[in-house]
Chain A
Amino acid sequence: MSGIAMPRPDAGILARAPQIVAALREVLPEDAVIWDPEETRAYECDALTAYRCPPLAVVLPRTTAEVAAAMRICHEMRVPVVPRGAGTSLAGGALPTADSVIIATLRLREVLEIDTQNRFIRVQTGVTNLSVSAELEPQGFFYAPDPSSQLACTIAGNIAMNSGGAHCLKYGVTTNNLMGATVVLPTGEVVELGGPEMGPTGLDLMGLLCGSEGQLGIVTEATLRILPRPEGARPVLIGFDGAEVAGECVARIIRSGVLPVAIEYMDDVCLRAVEAFAHAGYPDCAAVLIVEVEGSPAEIDHQIARIREIADALNPVEFRESRNADEAMAIWKGRKSAFGAMGRLGDYICLDGTVPVGQLPYTLKMIGELSRQHGLEVANVFHAGDGNMHPLILFNANKPGDLERAEAFGNDILRLCVDVGGCLTGEHGVGIEKRDLMTKQYDGPDLEIQMAVKDAFDPRWLLNPAKVFPLDASQPWREEAAAR
């Protein structure tokens, strides 16, 4: 276990574990409460696997009422609750503490309503992101946010993290596509926020909820905005001999009025790894952009012509168009296998800072310098159109001290992102991973007001402990809550 501290578990709660489990069993079906250590181990971590801790118990409800019943008991017995979807968080957002009960919404898997006339779908939040779009396919609609983890991650986790994906340059992230939510508050009370109308008329509590990382309530149902499927989409690949020109090309495309659905960036380290792994036939150069546009064939041709004009002025090493589905797939193949390819090179940490698009070249250069300073290799593969960087820091988990070095390097990169006008996390969330860096982006009072918001929803401070807010900053709040 490494650098990030978690609070010491409450011995009183641990001692009451049998009573807590018994109380949960009283209101939930037999198979919905797990506390056998063999079974709870499966929930000891999320995708930030360096940090692990089995919870006191795991609750797997099937309905909003069951979630509410479990919440009520945890509230009455003052037991911390960790909400969980599929556990693909890269930030340790779903990491349990030993004295917490996990309430997972994984089994709430029903599609409740599809309304193409009013352009929404209503689901229970345990459905996976990909299954929502699959559900809509026969009607010719889709749900836009598409995290790369979409096969596994759930709508619950997407809402809690305000997740994005390759298509969010054009269609926005989760918060821009969420219309309503059913939320179980820490007391067990159920509230409806938003709905199929284009609200809100009062305070935007749903907007606040989205991206709140399980700090305010457990989301059990969601109304999502759906869009008609585009007629077609086609990518182009553009290779450059320098990171700087590639960054310039991104800025010029953005400015031109062509609105691609995606602009993805890969640097030379990543390109070489991808070539060795997937043989995608990418050019051997400093940086590659993949730009995808949508529309009818004629519209696509027109947009690609505009992009070519912009790129040509910057002397690309290569401009590759896809003329058919196979060629399009070949262009995406390397990008899609990038994370797998990087995994071949060793262990890595995936960062997620965002910088203003104009700062991309400078940031890339500085990351290169930091890489030399820390003596660890880094690869860059990311959503360039919105400046959301994913530097992958390579290290060797078996080498003592290497993870700590990688974490220190990562923290330096995130500080750099903030310094150039960006932020610590673009789509993965703060979780435990960036919790202690929050003071880099926010001053004391900025964090105080956020904690005051948490306090309004969760006056006992039981939901998702030790995430998002630095422990020393939240301590007075937690102490006051314990005394209430």
Chain B
Amino acid sequence: MTPDNPSRAGLSPASEAELGALIAERFATCQPLRITGGGTRVETGHLPGDTLSTAAISGVVTYEPGEMTLIARAGTPLDEIQAMLAAEGQALAFEPADMRGVLGQGGTPTIGGVVAANASGPRRLLAGACRDHLLGVRFVDGQGRVLKNGGRVMKNVTGLDLGKLLCGAHGTLGVLTEVALKTLPHLPDRCTLGFHGVTVEEAVAIFSAALATPFEVSGAAFRDGSAWLRIEGLGPQLGYRRDRLLALLAPREAELLDDAATVDLWRELRDLAHFAGADAPLWRVLVKPSDAPATARALQALGGEASLDWGGGLVWYCGPGSPQAVRQVALHATLVRRGGLTGPAFPPEAPAVARLSAGLRQRFDPAGILNSGLMDR
């Protein structure tokens, strides 16, 4: 990785129209751009070109709690949005993480960055990912065209769903300027069951048993020999669900965390507090939950630690394993904190899929100026 180039220009258009004009000009001259929202991530530091920040394209456009919809410009700080929703007893159900701690970065996460990364925390298990809550987008493509797709309503199958494509494209297909998201009521009561001194195999067995019940477990994570289940509910739901789960998992003993402790614990788990402060490479690995124990053990054999989220569907690995070794263990591994490693951060795609992706990139960004090479090199 080449260190960030201090001589590169910093561009910060104040409106969508300005952004469109700027990209159109860059398209005409084939000059690459490196896109940042809040810049809480280091992943684009090695990319060529001037830095394009969306920070000035900011502000909530509309928030309708009764319709559970929020429309915000891409540069709006995530904190601002979360505070606004909390005041109405609502939240972004996909629970995006704040990875500043683990990435050792400053900056302010933006809603555009969250959508561009399809950032989704522990509650994805129950509520779906960011992409499942995205109702519509406005964006500027690599030719500088200002485009829209989707809308602001919950059900919409009008034409191709380009929101899905932009969400998780990490800025490689277009620069988001505005996103419409579904919000959900924040359930008032929560608790956590903690199972201590368990192996990774036992943890996944606990998760699978709990997730086969209708009790809507909204978090299932494992770290340092402890498996955690989060339960949420309305009124009598909480106690009922807790008791049923305890009975199901008996005779295992569980520690019970109250509401406040639950909030703290899941914030830590979400933000990977256990891997903060270190600078070893950090990998995000997607597996079938039943494959998680073997994957975690194989990764740990390379040195370092692994933790689980999403009932085992997500393995975080922090350790010195080489990219080749990690990718040998796990096909779907993304390098989130480089820790000195070079090479592609994203896993390679099957040839036929890679061809389709390349075809799409060619049409969205014909000059290859948007975060060029970030995902496919």
A interface residues, Cβ below 8 angstroms from B: 115-119, 140-141, 161-162, 164, 168, 172-173, 175-176, 185, 189-193, 196-205, 207-208, 210-212, 215, 227-231, 251-252, 254-259, 294-296, 298-299, 302-303, 306, 354-358, 383, 386-388, 421-430, 434, 438, 441-443, 445-447, 449-450, 452-457, 468
Selecting from B43-51, B102-110, B154-162, the interface stretch reads B154-162
- The answer to whether B334 touches A116 (Cβ under 8 A) is no
With A197-B332, A421-B151, A426-B153 known as contacts, the answer to whether A258 contacts B234 (CB < 8 A) is yes
- The answer to whether B360 touches A453 (Cβ under 8 A) is yes
In chain B, positions 116-171 with a C-beta closer than 8 Å to chain A are 118, 124, 128-129, 131-132, 141, 145-149, 151-162, 164-165, 167-169
Q: Which residues of A contact B313 (CB under 8 A)?
A: 197-198
- 9 residue pairs from A and B, CB less than 8 Å apart: A192-B350, A203-B168, A207-B167, A230-B214, A255-B65, A255-B68, A302-B236, A427-B155, A450-B149
In chain B, positions 341-372 with a C-beta closer than 8 Å to chain A are 346-347, 349-350, 352-353, 356-357, 359-360, 362-364
Nearest CB in chain B to that of A417: its residue: B153
- The answer to whether B160 touches A426 (Cβ under 8 A) is no
With A189-B352, A254-B67 known as contacts, the answer to whether A441 contacts B310 (CB < 8 A) is no
- The answer to whether B310 touches A198 (Cβ under 8 A) is yes
For B309-351 the 0/1 string (1 means CB < 8 A from A) is: 0100110000000000000000010100000000000110110
Name which of A185, A203, A427, A446 has the most chain B CB atoms within 10 A of its CB: A203
- The answer to whether A427 touches B157 (Cβ under 8 A) is yes
CA distance in complex: A229, B68 (Å): 26
B interface residues, Cβ below 8 angstroms from A: 64-69, 89, 118, 124, 128-129, 131-132, 141, 145-149, 151-162, 164-165, 167-169, 173, 184-188, 208, 211-214, 233-237, 240, 286-290, 310, 313-314, 332, 334, 346-347, 349-350, 352-353, 356-357, 359-360, 362-364, 375
- The answer to whether B214 touches A202 (Cβ under 8 A) is no
Selected contact of B350 from candidates A175, A191, A355, CB within 8 Å: A191
Smallest beta-carbon distance B324→chain A, Å: 17
Q: Which residues of B contact A426 (CB under 8 A)?
A: 153, 155-157
Closest 7 CB pairs of A and B: A207-B164, A257-B185, A456-B359, A426-B155, A386-B154, A452-B363, A197-B286
Selected contact of B155 from candidates A210, A258, A298, A386, CB within 8 Å: A386
Q: Which residues of B contact A193 (CB under 8 A)?
A: 353
With A116-B212, A207-B164, A356-B69 known as contacts, the answer to whether A450 contacts B288 (CB < 8 A) is no
- The answer to whether A356 touches B152 (Cβ under 8 A) is yes
Selected contact of B353 from candidates A202, A295, A302, A430, CB within 8 Å: A202
With A202-B349, A423-B158, A434-B158 known as contacts, the answer to whether A387 contacts B287 (CB < 8 A) is no
Q: Which residues of A contact B350 (CB under 8 A)?
A: 191-192
CA distance in complex: A227, B350 (Å): 30
- The answer to whether A442 touches B67 (Cβ under 8 A) is no
Smallest beta-carbon distance A163→chain B, Å: 8
CA distance in complex: A383, B153 (Å): 13
Selected contact of A442 from candidates B124, B148, B212, B334, CB within 8 Å: B148
Name which of A168, A227, A456 has the most chain B CB atoms within 10 A of its CB: A456
Q: Which residues of A contact B165 (CB under 8 A)?
A: 203-205, 207-208, 453
User: Can you name 12 extra interface pairs (CB under 8 A) apart from A196-B288, A447-B159?
Assistant: A115-B290, A168-B155, A204-B165, A208-B162, A255-B65, A255-B185, A257-B234, A354-B156, A386-B155, A428-B157, A441-B159, A450-B149
- The answer to whether B132 touches A176 (Cβ under 8 A) is yes
With A196-B288, A383-B155 known as contacts, the answer to whether A457 contacts B162 (CB < 8 A) is no
Nearest CB in chain A to that of B358: its residue: A456
Q: Which residues of A contact B287 (CB under 8 A)?
A: 197
- The answer to whether A257 touches B187 (Cβ under 8 A) is yes
- The answer to whether B289 touches A118 (Cβ under 8 A) is yes
Smallest beta-carbon distance B322→chain A, Å: 19
Nearest CB in chain B to that of A227: its residue: B214
With A204-B131, A257-B89 known as contacts, the answer to whether A175 contacts B156 (CB < 8 A) is no
Selected contact of B168 from candidates A200, A252, A257, CB within 8 Å: A200
Smallest beta-carbon distance B33→chain A, Å: 19
Smallest beta-carbon distance B327→chain A, Å: 12
- The answer to whether A295 touches B237 (Cβ under 8 A) is yes
CA distance in complex: A27, B211 (Å): 45
Q: Which residues of A contact B131 (CB under 8 A)?
A: 204, 207
- The answer to whether A191 touches B158 (Cβ under 8 A) is no
- The answer to whether B364 touches A449 (Cβ under 8 A) is yes
Q: Which residues of A contact B349 (CB under 8 A)?
A: 202
- The answer to whether A455 touches B240 (Cβ under 8 A) is no
Nearest CB in chain A to that of B360: its residue: A456
Q: Which residues of B contact A468 (CB under 8 A)?
A: 159-160
Q: Which residues of A contact B169 (CB under 8 A)?
A: 203-204
Q: Which residues of A contact B346 (CB under 8 A)?
A: 201-202
- The answer to whether B353 touches A446 (Cβ under 8 A) is no
